[in-house]
Amino acid sequence: MHDLIIIGGGPAGMTAAVYAARKMLDTLLVTKDLGGQMMWTREIENYLGFQYISGPELIGKFEEHVKRYPANIVYEEVTRLERTPDGIFIVRCGDREYRAKTVIIASGKRPRRLGVPGEIEYTGRGVGYCATCDGPLYAGRSVAVVGGGNSALQAAIELAAIASEVFLVVRGRFKADPIVVDKLEANRKVEVLRGYVARGIYGGDTVEKFVVAACDDGRERELAVQGVFVEIGLDPNTEFATGLAELNGYREIEVDCRTATGVPGLFAAGDVASGPDKQIIIAAGDGAKAALVAYEYLLRNF
Ligand SMILES: Cc1cc2nc3c(=O)[nH]c(=O)nc-3n(C[C@H](O)[C@H](O)[C@H](O)COP(=O)(O)OP(=O)(O)OC[C@H]3O[C@@H](n4cnc5c(N)ncnc54)[C@H](O)[C@@H]3O)c2cc1C
C-alpha cells in the first residue's frame, strides 16, 4: 500500500513526484514513459530558466531531478483505476495491481486521428503524428501536414527545413499564436491549402498519395507525397478512469482550482485535467499543487 500513486511521467507527473518525495510520501510513479509530449517538441522557448531548450534536453533535466530522490518508478500502462468502498485506490496494469491511499492522474494527451482510409494501415510507413521525431526521415522528400493550430504550423516550419516540399492542409482559419503564423507565412517552401480536408491516404508499401477535398465544392486534389503528418489536436488519456472520475465535454477530468476531483483522495494534474491552457509550465505547476494537496489529504484522513 503506497501513500500516493502518480499515473503519468510527463511534466505534471514528474513534478508531482519531486514534491511528494520532499514530503517523504511513499510514492509510486506508474508511467508508459518519462517525458510525455515533451518528447515530440524540438524547441521550447517558454519554460522559465531556459530561453531555448529542446524537449529531450528538458526531459533529461526533469528526470535527473526526479531521480535525485529515492523514486519508485514502474514503466507500465494503467488499464483501470478503481476505488474500494473503504477509500483505497487500485491501479490495474493488465494482470498486475498496485494500491494507494491517494492517486494523482497526470496521464496527459495523445494525438487525435484523421479517421480517413489508409491512415491506420500507413501509420509508421508514411503517416506520422510527430514531425519532430520522424521529420528527419523525409529529407529531400515531399510531405503534407494536416491541421491549423500551433503544432501543425510548427511541424510545417520544421519540415520545410528538411523536406523538398511541404503542403499544409487546413480546413479553415489558423488557430495558432501570431508569432507562429508570422514564421509560417514568411516561409516560402510551405504551400498552404486552405479550405481543404483529408479524404484518403494511398500507396504501395509506403505512402505515395494523399487525397484532399475542397470544403466548398468537394473538388479533390491528389498530392504526390511520401509523408503525411497529422497534427489536428490531442485527446485526453482518461479511458482507464471512466466511471470513477467525472469528465467534461472534452473527456478531460473535472477538477477544482486545487486539482481535486469529486472523488476523495483522487487528484488530476496537467493536460488531462479540465482547464483551458495546456503548457509545460502549467502542467508542472499543477503537478506540484496536486502533490501538496494529496499530502494535506493524507494528514487529515490517515
Ligand atoms: C508538438 C508539441 C509541441 C509543444 N510545445 C510546447 C512548448 O513549446 N511549450 C510548452 O509549454 N508546451 C508545449 N506543448 C504542450 C506540452 O507538451 C504539454 O502541455 C505538457 O507536456 C503536458 O504535460 P502532462 O504531464 O500533463 O502530460 P503529457 O506530457 O501528455 O504526459 C503524460 C504522461 O502520461 C503517460 N501515460 C498516458 N497514459 C498512460 C497510462 N494509461 N498508463 C501509464 N502512463 C500513461 C504518458 O506516457 C506520459 O508519460 C507542446 C505539445 C506538443 C504536442
Indicate the average pLDDT of the chain. 95
Domain match, 106 and 241 both: yes
Rounded mean pLDDT of 92-117?
A: 97
CA distance linking residue 154 with residue 150, whole number of Å:
6
Is-catalytic flag, 215? no
My answer on whether 136 and 57 are in the same domain is no
Number of domains present in the structure of the chain: 2
The per-residue pLDDT for 122 is: 93
User: Residues 35, 84: one domain?
Assistant: yes
| Last residue of one domain, picked from the residues 192, 207, 230 | 230
- What separation in angstroms does the CA of 299 have from each of 23, 88, 105, 172, 194? 11, 15, 20, 51, 56
Cα dihedral 27, 29, 34, 36 sign: negative
Tell me the pLDDT tens digit for each residue of 181-238: 999 999 999 999 999 999 999 999 999 999 999 999 999 999 999 999 999 999 999 9
Q: Do residues 141 and 174 share a domain?
A: yes
Query: Are 153 and 229 spatial neighbours (Cβ–Cβ below 8 Å)?
Result: no
Pick the last residue of a domain from 178, 213, 230: 230
Do 298 and 5 touch, CB atoms closer than 8 A? no
Domain that holds residue 246: 2-110+234-301
Among 179, 201, 230, the domain-final residue is 230
Task: Round to whole Å and give the CA distance between 253 and 233.
Answer: 17
Residues 88 and 144 in one domain: no
Rg (CA), the chain: 21
Residue with cell 491511499: 101
Whether 90 and 189 share a structural domain: no
pTM summary value: 0.86
CA distance linking residue 302 with residue 297, whole number of Å = 8
CATH of the domain at 180: 3.50.50.60
Are residues 80 and 66 both part of a single domain?
yes
Ligand 1-lining residues (CB < 6 angstroms): 7-13, 30-33, 36-38, 40-41, 44, 46-47, 77-78, 106-109, 151, 237, 240, 270-272, 278-281, 283
Same domain as 218, residue 138: yes
Cα(162)–Cα(128) distance, integer angstroms: 15
**Residues facing 40 on adjacent strands:** none
